[in-house]
Amino acid sequence: MDISCAFPPVPDTPEHVALAERLGYRRAWVYDTPALQLDVWATLARAAERTRRIGLGPGVLIPSLRHVLVNAAAVATLAALAPGRVVVGIGSGFTGRLAMGQRPNPWGFVAQYARQLRALLAGEAVEVDGALTRMLHGPGQAPPRPIRVPFVFGVGGPRGEAVARELGDGIFTVVPTGGFAWAALLTFGTVLEPGEPFDAPRVLAAAGAGAAVVFHRAWDLPGAPRRPKLGELPGGAAWKAALEALPPRERHLHTHEGHLTFVNAIDRTVITGEAVRAYTFTGEAPALRARLDELTARGVTEIAYQPAGPDVPRELIAFARMAGIAS
């Protein structure tokens, strides 16, 4: 199993990616969440300039946020800075869409966008918005075409999986999903010190936002397969009532505030040690190593661990040691 990491695009992320490289992480994924953090491509470019080996890619691009030629030029930029290290993640959009009050993109649109992006990187002309478009970059202005990079699709159900099987090299998920040669699983949590309780302040700060996403997803995607419903979650009714007390047109702004990075005021009422235990990849090192073995048996080929809390370097180091990639 590959041990990788994932980050929000915040000012410290490029240095955290450099640390991840020194620790032996295989790849660093960066979120495409402009409503919450900085630009994904600028962050990846800064990380590329600080590293030499670690793989780099957006995890995952939201097609509606940029014209496809803009993303083609961005892929080319990163490929020039980090040749042989780039992967393109692409998906329908969770926080990247919902935090702006929009629903996820239809998978038909995602598939068309991926085809267009791959064709542009190959040097082909494609029709976009009724007009032919092509990368016109001359010698010395971008890497020569074709620019070949793997495509990994962020999926959460059968429609996305079907697109990934047709067009992709692998998948990027939050639920263990087998049947793919490359299956990256995004995980959140913290490695406990021996005897450290799940409700310790350090643990809640490091893993609480990861537990909160279960409530966000249950609210925004109530029919999503293989995920609990909001009413089934401890405290879910109170969490829902607090959100529904807000004006409907503002609710998405509060739901996704701090998403995967800090616990917001509404989430704070339901994030407990038990929530961290149940919904995140948190535990002492021997228990987490056993869970990695279980995930391998379920078809996961890569872990993308997102550290959080006030001490991201501590989280990266502890996870790397637990996973056996650092001493």
Q: Tens digits of per-residue pLDDT, 145-158?
A: 999 999 999 999 99
Write down the pLDDT at residue 94.
87
Distances (CA, A) of 309 to 161, 222, 291: 32, 28, 22
| Chain centroid offset of residue 147 CA | 23
Write down the pLDDT at residue 227.
72
Q: Record the pTM.
A: 0.96
Count of other CB atoms within 10 angstroms of residue 99: 21
Write down the pLDDT at residue 95.
87
Q: Sign (positive/negative) of CA torsion 105, 61, 320, 10?
A: negative
Domain range annotation of the chain: 2-188+308-323
- The tens digit of pLDDT for each residue in 185-242 reads 999 999 999 999 999 999 999 999 999 999 998 998 887 766 778 888 999 999 999 9
Q: Sign (positive/negative) of CA torsion 195, 201, 203, 208?
A: positive
Q: Please give the Cα distance from 122 to 135 (Å, whole number).
A: 9
Q: For the domain covering 2-188+308-323, report its CATH number.
A: 3.20.20.30
Distances (CA, A) of 148 to 85, 112, 321: 11, 18, 33
Q: Please give the Cα distance from 116 to 319 (Å, whole number).
A: 38
pLDDT profile of the chain (327 residues), mean per 10: 98 99 99 97 99 99 98 99 99 91 95 99 98 98 98 96 98 95 98 98 97 92 77 90 94 91 93 96 98 98 98 99 96
Write down the pLDDT at residue 53.
99
Write down the pLDDT at residue 229.
84
Write down the pLDDT at residue 32.
98
Q: Could you give the 3-state DSSP secondary structure of residue 188?
A: strand
- The tens digit of pLDDT for each residue in 37-47 reads 999 999 999 99
